[in-house]
A and B are shown apart, each in its own frame.
Chain A
Amino acid sequence: MFKPTPALIPLQNLLAVLGWLLVLPVTAADMTPERRAFFETKIRPVLVKQCYECHAVGAKKIGGKLLLDSPGELVGGGESGPAMLPGRPDESLIIQALRYEGPEMPPKHRLPESVVNDFVTWVKMGAPDPRANQPKSARKEPATDKASLWSFQPVTNPKPPTVRTKDWTRDPLDVFVLARIESAGLAPAKDAAPATLIRRLHFDLIGLPPTAAEVQEFVRACSGGKRASAIAQLVDRLLTSPHFGERWGRHWLDVARYGESNGNDGLSRNASFPHAWRFRDYVIQSFNDDVPYDRFVTEQIAGDLLPTETPAQRDRLLVATGFLALGCKPAKAMNDNFDMDVVADQIAVVGSGIMGLSVGCARCHDHKHDPIPARDYYALAGIFKSTETLWGAGGYEKLTAPETPLHELKAAPKVEPASEKLNPVRASKKAPPKPAFPYPPGAPLAMGVREAKTVGDCKLNIEGESKKLGPSIPRGFLTACVTTGEPVAVDAQQSGRLQLAQWLVRGDHPQTARVMANRVWQHLMDRGLVRTPDDFGVYGDRPSHPELLDHLATRFVADGWSVKRLIRSIVLSRTYQLDSDSDARTRAADPDNTLLARHNRRRLDAEVLRDAMLVASGGLDPSPGKGSLIQHDDVLINLMGDLHQTSTHRSVYLLHLRNSMPVELTAFNLPDGTTVTGKRDETTLPTQALYLMNSPFLVTESKRLAATLLKTSESESARIRSAFLRTLTREPSRSEAQQASGFLRRAESGLMQSAPDSETRQHTVWAAFCQALLASNELRYLD
């Protein structure tokens, strides 16, 4: 009998070979009269009576997509894999099911021992089966039309179409956009004004507003036919700013479902992740260093397996693998599936985050609409089951998660915890727990992954239950993602994470480059070319400009997967630099702006809004926030009360506890950090108005700005002007100045009673005025 040795045999070939070898012995088994008689008397009647109700062509619902009325189907198998391996009864699913080991079939009652033994004998014989193969397969063939499976087709490098207004375009990508606008008989909007553009570029590239002086300087630089060079200079300056990584790193943290605690484990426990912040810093630094995206992905999936030269390099790569360890886990208590839940989170973040495919659906059954069979899921699961995930102490609560060790860093400095008096968390702690993996206080540690002590394939979990085991599935990748080059195979001696990463970042992987190019486009243009950035599957959106998407993906790979170069190309294009208002005809014809004939107006997201307000008030500390408020605390945060503290650092450095996010950010659709979130929701709610009117953050920053105005300017008009420049980076119009002045007068008299002291009243009046500017739509929306 053929026995496969999966090691280093390319997976796709292996499956094909297996298919052939296994089908042949059955259908071509020497059909002696004795064997035929055995089948007809012992096997067929049982199949007909006990199994066909659910497992035959014509059954109401085919159980597990498995047919037993056809020899080919028996070995070909259903959702749970081959039902039978001829000659190997113990490994055959059908025997396991009849024995009620794992799946239990027939479901209503166990067949007598003697019948089961007949089946064992039959399988041992090689399962001679005289029945003709039924032509019809119960396994729903995945939808094969090219349109719905577009993302599985190889990336092409389409030739730019021809356009009429050739001199309009500035970058090849403009040609793809213009061709569509022209063919709809429309025209693109005018170019955005320089003052609009600098604000757009600042927020998009570094997430901070320009100062009024920078705006004026840029407007000047753009005059006299020097617009293009002024823009290029500005873009290059912003791309090298250390704030770039804080903005773009935050986008990736949304994808990486970043959080500094586990989040509700289903039993209301929420264990802290005191070392998660190192991953945050790694991501920010990687975007600042423009680590090529293929390398960036590889580091996060298999950084621990990459060669290093210095301890600092080693630290960095170990921290990168935090990507796989940061997930939100359900409680361990009474949960047989806990290990597989950890694996599911890892498959989800790699699937949706990097490939734009919801592989997770295949945990319990073949994917309902995407071509991802359960077998592929368990091929990936084997890789992560062969990996040890290091999340740390789990709040020293065994019921939520068992303690694990952590990566010990070599070059990172040791930071002694502050005294217990200064640290509310430590002060409130009851008895100090006895860690299973003790580390010296303040030792530099990181969450992450490493190879498990034993590596091996994973058995298919029937219906996603780790107690109902199907056949073992050789480790591998997604069979539907066809790559053209030399296949990558899993090394039998390793988990396969390194090979998975290598497979994902192959230039010919159909999804990886497209998904990231689309993410970058979305962050700059408000909407992706595919509007469901985490779902490139059948239920996801189709690309509005498929050729443009492929053009960008091709360029991205050709440019060495440089995110900065991709961003630079897009922001220097004419398309990006369009005004966000267009003529009425274009708007009426394309209300959704699918054709990209104008720029999309956007609301500042939660972090950028807070940062912009801090810049306006003068309250921002632009230096990177250090570490985390909970970096020494392995606790259950649900028992700790409010752990947040006021901070003047950028929002990306605030404490991102799952189920307890910073209140300065939650009003504006901050993701909850439990799932891949490539596109944030955008709601418009009265509760946001209430945040702007009453939140302590707005009140504090308004007071701060008012104090500055009162200190630095003498006259009312100078103060009004200064307030406009600081918040909206422009001068007030005459009527605005009058409205402001009118408000100040009315507020002054309105406060006579509650603030009889004139100095207090002055501060309150001006703070109310500053708050109004901070809350205005002009500050909160980006053209």
Chain B
Amino acid sequence: MHPPSLSRRELLRLTSCGFGYLAMAGLAGAAGADLTPRPPKLTARAKRVIFLCMSGGPAQLDTFEYKPQVGSKPHPGSVTEFKQRGQSGAWVSELMPHTARHADKLCVLNAMYCDTGNHAQSFLQLHTGDRLRPCPSLGSWVTYGLGSENYNLPGFISLNTAKPSVYASACLPPIFEGTPIGTNGEDMTKATISNISGEHLPAEVKRQQLDFIQAMNKGHLAQHDDPRLEGVIQTMELGFRMQSAAPELLDLSRESKATLERYCVGKSYDVGTCKPSDFGRQCLLARRFAEAGVRFIEVNHGSWDQHTDHRRDLAANCQATDAPVAALLDDLNLRGLLEDTLVVWGGEFGRPGLTPGDGKDQTGHSHRAFTFWLAGGGVKAGYTHGRTNDTGAECVAGKVHFRDLHATILHLLGLDHERLAFTQGGRSIRLTGVQGGSVVKEILA
């Protein structure tokens, strides 16, 4: 069944007969009301998403889009060395030697564009489709549409995250909100889920205690018809269930030394704009969450906003992320997970190219043309889509807006962006908004 558009009142009607673990059986068919997994109507090529969010605007011309000098006049282009890789012959910068090993798995979108070159607004648009107003995050939409494969974990986890507006469920029920683990600026080597366990009561009594709390909460809700109060009741259940699954998942001590080294766990780089993020630990956690059935996992690294000292900071950002991303792709591939896991790499926009030999080391923002890559989950491998002009400043063919990317991600998951909706105050709200988006058919495998 396709997730129907549910209003809050319908939701309330559906769920006020009982909650959480007690009512799960009765709710299993009611798509969109909780985290119960529900099959999508369309054929799904992917079951989950790992979003490698590179905040700040990664410089596409020095990573994945090669723009050599053409003609006699020097012009903006790539200033790092590129090589052709794999069977596909895709050009990948020398700053990404490990990711380059996977060139034949990547589907590179070179003609991405969006509406604004302001970080905050564009970052919001990348996550929610909207630049200005609070709207549900992509991960919330996906979880709303598909539920979670693991009943004991949130459907949407955001590691090293920015402010709540980017993982907010907004008008969707709070159970679809992203659960943050570590926020920007926090020490990611220790970031965890606080209070995940407590020894003050045995598990059995904790369950009895929660039953009593929920009985009180339901009595309260009966007097005050309010979806937020209901959201709390659901998240109390989820929180309770997480105690059984999350501690083990967060504990990397059983991973082999070799694995920790491949992912560079514990290594951080603090160079210019490149901030410590223990990106390796994030990627390893992402793999473990994916294995455990979390629907949407976002990992973050930044900032790629190298206005000055472009070369130095870009190199550091690449060094911090390259090996961990490659290790993640290796592991997903080895475990057969890449088949149905869609990996997405990109940031809120890109950067204009530098002109070789002009002595400058500064870039700005480019929202008219930049690069994303996807891998796994039903996209063509070793494929490049979209073209820009000689300087990489303008899209020439195969343009993909954030809205198109969103529509495509939903499509790969078996969700129709035009039908995945939530009704609020008589308005039907969708991820791709009133402007809509188009599925990028050319990249579907």
* Cα of A751 to Cα of B186 in the assembled complex, Å: 38
Chain B contributes a number of interface residues (CB within 8 A of A) equal to 63
Check A773 against B216 for contact (C-beta < 8 Å): yes
B window 179-198: CB within 8 A of A: 179-180, 185-186, 193-198
- Complex Cα distance, B269 from A268, in Å, reads 12
Residues 740-783 of chain A: 1 if any B CB is under 8 Å from the residue's CB, otherwise 0?
A: 10010011001101100000000010011101110111101101
Residues of A bordering B, CB below 8 Å = 108, 264, 266-268, 368, 539, 580-581, 587-588, 590-592, 601, 603, 659, 663, 666-667, 669, 681, 683-695, 699, 733, 735-736, 739-740, 743, 746-747, 750-751, 753-754, 764, 767-769, 771-773, 775-778, 780-781, 783
Of the candidates A669, A692, A768, the one whose C-beta lies within 8 Å of that of B205 is A768
Quick one: which of B219, B223, B231, B424 has the most chain A CB within 10 A?
B219
Q: Does B220 belong to the interface (CB within 8 Å)? A: yes
Q: Which residues of A contact B226 (CB under 8 A)?
A: 601
Which residues in chain B, 270-304, are within 8 Å of chain A measured between CB atoms?
Answer: 270, 275-276
Partner of A768, one of B195, B209, B221: B209
Task: Say yes or no: A689 contacts B238, CB within 8 Å.
Answer: yes
Closest CB in chain B relative to A392 CB, distance in Å:
22
Do residues B215 and A739 form an inter-chain contact, with CB atoms below 8 A? yes
CA A460 – CA B284 in complex, angstroms?
Answer: 47
Question: A539's contact among B132, B177, B229, B240, by CB below 8 Å, is which?
Answer: B132
Complex alpha-carbon distance, A601 and B227, angstroms: 11
Once A689-B239, A743-B212 are accepted as A-B contacts, the answer to whether A581 and B224 lie under 8 Å apart by CB is yes
Contacts of B186 in A (CB 8 A): 659
Which one, B179, B206, B208, B358, contacts A686 given CB within 8 A? B179
- Structural contact, A687 and B220, CB atoms closer than 8 A: no
Among A764, A778, A783, chain B packs the most CB atoms within 10 A around the CB of A778
Nearest-neighbour CB distance to chain A for B416, whole angstroms, equals 26
Q: Which of B194, B216, B240 contacts A776 (CB 8 A)?
A: B216
Rounded to whole angstroms, the CA-CA distance of A368 and B367 in the bound complex is 15
**Contact: B198 with A699, CB < 8 Å?**
yes
Q: Which of B160-168, B250-258, B382-390, B430-438 binds A? A: B160-168
* Closest A-B pairs by Cβ, 8 of them: A689-B239, A694-B198, A684-B174, A686-B239, A694-B195, A743-B212, A750-B205, A686-B238
Interfacial chain B residues near A659, Cβ < 8 Å: 185-186
Extra contacts, 11 of them, besides A687-B193, A687-B195 (Cβ < 8 A), are: A108-B358, A592-B425, A684-B231, A685-B180, A690-B195, A694-B196, A733-B219, A747-B205, A769-B212, A772-B213, A778-B220
Task: Check: B201 CB closer than 8 A to any chain A CB.
Answer: yes
Inter-chain contacts of A603 with B (CB < 8 A): 228
B116 CB, min distance to chain A CBs, angstroms: 9
For A594, give the chain B residue with the smallest CB separation: B425
Question: Considering the chains assembled together, what is the distance between the CA atoms of A739 and B210 in angstroms?
Answer: 12
Cα distance A682–B225 when bound, in Å?
19
CB distance from A377 to the nearest CB of B (A): 17
Do A750 and B204 contact each other (CB < 8 Å), given the known contacts A580-B224, A773-B216? Answer: yes
- Can you list 22 contacts pairing A with B, beta carbon distance less than 8 Å? A108-B358, A267-B270, A591-B8, A592-B425, A601-B229, A681-B165, A683-B168, A687-B180, A689-B236, A689-B238, A690-B193, A690-B243, A691-B195, A693-B195, A693-B198, A695-B195, A743-B211, A754-B202, A772-B212, A773-B216, A776-B216, A783-B224
Whether, in the assembled complex, B80 has its beta carbon less than 8 Å from a beta carbon of chain A, the answer is no
**How far in angstroms is the closest Cβ of chain A from B329?**
29
Tell me the smallest distance from the CB of B38 to a CB of chain A, in Å.
20
Which residue on A lies nearest to B198, using beta carbons?
Answer: A694
Residue of A nearest to B424 (CB): A591
How far in angstroms is the closest Cβ of chain B from A734?
12
Q: Which residues of B contact A669 (CB under 8 A)?
A: 164
> Quick one: given A683-B164, A695-B195, A754-B202, are A777 and B232 in contact (CB under 8 Å)?
yes
- A764/B239 in contact, CB under 8 A: no
Q: Is the CB of A776 within 8 A of B224?
A: no
Residues of B within 8 A of A690 (CB): 193-196, 239, 242-243
Find out whether the CB atom of B216 lies under 8 angstroms from the CB atom of A685: no
Query: A670: shortest Cβ distance to chain B, in Å?
Result: 12
- Measured CB to CB, the closest approach of chain B to A363, in angstroms, equals 13
CB-defined contacts of A773 to chain B, threshold 8 Å: 216
- Least CB distance from A75 to B in Å reads 28
The residues of B that contact A735 with a CB separation of less than 8 Å are 219
Instruction: Give CA–CA (A747, B132) in the complex, Å.
Output: 49
Q: Which of A580, A587, A735, A753 has the most CB of B within 10 A?
A: A587
Please, how many angstroms separate the alpha-carbon atoms of A267 and B425 in the complex? 47
* Any A CB within 8 A of the CB of B154: yes
CB distance from A748 to the nearest CB of B (A): 9
- List, in ascending order, chain B residues with CB within 8 A of A743's CB: 208-209, 211-212
For the complex, give the distance between the alpha carbons of A693 and B194 in Å. Answer: 11
Contact between chains at B132 and A693 (CB < 8 Å) = no
CA distance A633 to B83 in the complex (A): 54
Could you tell me the distance in whole angstroms from the C-beta of A684 to the nearest C-beta in chain B?
4
Contacting residue for B154 out of A368, A581, A686, CB 8 A: A686
Cβ of B217 within 8 Å of any chain A Cβ, yes or no, is: yes
Chain A residue at smallest Cβ distance from B211: A743
B200 CB contact (under 8 Å) in A666, A692, A699, A775: A699
> What's the least CB distance linking B136 to chain A, in Å?
13
Cα-based distance from A663 to B186 in the complex (angstroms): 14
Among A591, A691, A777, the residue within 8 A (CB) of B425 is A591
Closest to A775 in B: B213
Q: Give Cα A581 to B237, complex, Å.
A: 26
**Which A residue's beta carbon lies closest to that of B174?**
A684
**A689-B164 in contact given A581-B224, A683-B177, A684-B177 (Cβ < 8 Å):** no
B235 within 8 A of A: yes
Query: Distance in Å from the Cβ of B242 to the closest Cβ of chain A?
Result: 6
Please indicate the chain A residues that have their CB under 8 angstroms from the CB of B275 in the complex: 266
A267 nearest in chain B by CB position:
B270
**B327-365 CB contact bits vs A (8 Å, 1 = yes)?**
000000000000000000000000000010010000000
Given A693-B198, A769-B212, A781-B229, A687 contacting B239 (CB threshold 8 A): yes
Name the residue of chain B whose CB is nearest to the CB of A697.
B195
Which B residues lie within 8 Å of A264 (CB)? 185
Q: Nearest chain B CB to A349's CB is how many angstroms away? A: 18
**When chains A and B are docked, how far (Å) is the Cα of A108 from the Cα of B73?**
11
- Minimal beta-carbon separation of A782 from chain B (angstroms): 11
Instruction: Name B131's closest neighbour in chain A (CB-CB).
Output: A539
Q: Least Cβ distance of B119 to chain A in Å? A: 11
The answer, among A736, A751, A775, for a CB contact under 8 Å with B202, is: A751
Given A691-B194, A736-B219, A781-B229; A768-B201 close (CB under 8 Å): yes
Name the residue on B nearest A742 (C-beta): B212
Asked whether A684 lies within 8 Å of B209 as measured between CB atoms, the reply is: no
B242 interface neighbour in A666, A686, A747, A783, Cβ under 8 Å: A686
Instruction: Specify which chain B residues have a CB less than 8 angstroms from the CB of A772 in the assembled complex.
Output: 209, 212-213, 216
Distance of A663 Cα from B195 Cα, bound (Å): 10
Given A688-B239, A772-B212, A775-B213, A681:B164 Cβ within 8 A: yes
Q: B73's closest neighbor in chain A, by CB?
A: A108
Check if B225 sits within 8 Å of A581, measured CB to CB: yes
B296 to chain A: closest CB distance in Å? 15
A684 to B167, CA, bound (A): 11
A684-B358 contact in complex given A694-B197, A694-B198, A736-B219, C-beta closer than 8 Å: no
B228 pairs with A684, CB closer than 8 A: yes
Docked-complex contact B229 and A777, CB < 8 angstroms: yes
B239 pairs with A777, CB closer than 8 A? no
Minimal Cβ-Cβ distance residue in B for A764:
B201
Nearest Cβ distance between residue A317 and chain B, in whole angstroms? Answer: 34
In the complex, chain B residues whose CB is within 8 Å of the CB of A699: 198, 200
What are the residues of chain B within 8 A of A591 when measuring CB–CB?
8, 424-425
Given A739-B215, A775-B213, A776-B216: A687 and B194 within 8 A (CB)?
Answer: yes
B240→A777 contact, CB < 8 A: no
Chain B residues in 8 Å Cβ range of A108 = 355, 358
Q: How far is the CB of A357 from chain B (nearest CB, A)?
A: 16
B301 CB to nearest A CB, Å: 16
